[in-house]
Amino acid sequence: MTRAAQAERTRAAILTTARRLFATHGYDATSLHTIADEMDVTKANVYYYFRTKTAILEALLDNSVTYFDPLLTETAQLKGKRARAEHLVAGFVDQVVANRALSPLGQTHPSVRRNERINAEPARLATTAMRLLYGDEPTDDQRAAWFLASDVGPVVAGLPHLTHDELREVLRRLCLRVLRV
Amino acid sequence: MTRAAQAERTRAAILTTARRLFATHGYDATSLHTIADEMDVTKANVYYYFRTKTAILEALLDNSVTYFDPLLTETAQLKGKRARAEHLVAGFVDQVVANRALSPLGQTHPSVRRNERINAEPARLATTAMRLLYGDEPTDDQRAAWFLASDVGPVVAGLPHLTHDELREVLRRLCLRVLRV
DNA sequence: GTCTATAAACGGATAGAC
DNA sequence: GTCTATCCGTTTATAGAC
């Protein structure tokens, strides 16, 4: 394996491992030592790829943004609130299920919320999504519905026995019911 | 003031302050030094009342259990799933709104979930509540609805501009809609 | 009941060898 | 690209004076 390929491998492994541990134990309760140990490298090696712990979190959120941006663009091209809700929910749920064992790192997480810079992009995406579903001036009930539906982590955690397909269907029905106020 | 009264005062202040800071910054990101500073005492004094940081978290969760236990008992005496859902939601939402600035410390929180002993009681309450609403064998959709509705923290955080009364009404409507599957 | 002082361990981060 | 060794601030927790 070339050195460049090895580098890409390690970098990706750090992100995967970090994401899993952040989701399980929380960002603050996960030390770089733990991340490194889990993938059988040293802490110093992790620092070779990410200058700070925060940088790892930022990289993870960038991945989310990269996924949701095109989804929102597609959704905007559909006509009718019903069709938009269905497309948006389907895309959202697919990503949640795909990262099931990892669980999503939502805007809710204190580690995300307290960093202005990290928080900016996800907040922008949330605003855009609400516009698509509810127009320029969502009611408080609509905004509440959005905040609830975008945080399905506890639901995923509560239903570990479902297959991926079952979970996907449950989440789709649930989110659509919540969002169509 | 007697010494006993002073003790009760300080103990209560620790819990109030800790709860606020845990909710804002997360359990792990809140140090005992910060808690102590916020209430103008020393860290050592906090340790006089609670042997460990975990003990503070346990005490906070005990408070929640103490609140929800009678609520579930009342609910069980009502006939009809609709009436039960309304009573349960009303009581739940009242507690959420009353602790609004503090925000609820749900089972979701990693700090709670990772401690088997801490986690046991809230999990029991959840099971009881689901039985009351959905009978002995809830469907996956029903269980999913419960998990989502019991974690309204993000909704509270997202609607800071509402008055208490407004927030209460929004949450009641939202939870009822989610739970009545 | 509250304080000062300190122990002991941990966490993020860097220097420099290989 | 990965490692060993180390620095330094912070954190949990305790000992002992008042």
Give the tens place of pLDDT for each residue, A143-158. Answer: 999 999 998 988 998 9
- For B162, the closest chain A residue by CA position comes to A140
Q: How many CB pairs under 8 A join A and B?
A: 106
3-state helix, strand, coil in chain A (%, to 5): 75, 0, 25
Q: Where does the pLDDT of residue A99 fall: very low under 50, low under 70, confident under 90, or very high at 90 and above?
A: confident
Q: Which CATH class is domain B57-179?
A: mainly alpha
pLDDT for residue A103: 66
Give dist(CA A18, CA A111) in Å, integer: 14
pTM: 0.92
pLDDT, residue A85, reads: 97
Rounded CA-CA distance A97/A165 in Å is: 9
Residue B180 or A34, more confident = A34
Most A CBs within 10 Å: which of B21, B92, B150, B151, as the mutation test of the A interface?
A: B151
The whole-chain average pLDDT of chain B stands at 92
End-to-end CA distance of chain A: 54
Domain boundaries, chain A: 1-51, 57-179
Q: What is the CATH number of domain B1-51?
A: 1.10.10.60
> Do B1-51 and B57-179 come out as alike in CATH topology?
no
Average pLDDT, integer, range B85-95: 96
Asked if residue A42 has pLDDT above 90, the reply is yes
The secondary structure element, H or E, covering residue B22 is helix B3-25
Interface of chain A toward chain B, CB-CB under 8 angstroms: 24-26, 28-29, 106-111, 113-114, 140-141, 143-155, 157-159, 162, 166, 170-171, 173-174, 177-178, 181
Give yes or no for a contact between B62 and B26, defined as CB atoms under 8 angstroms apart. no
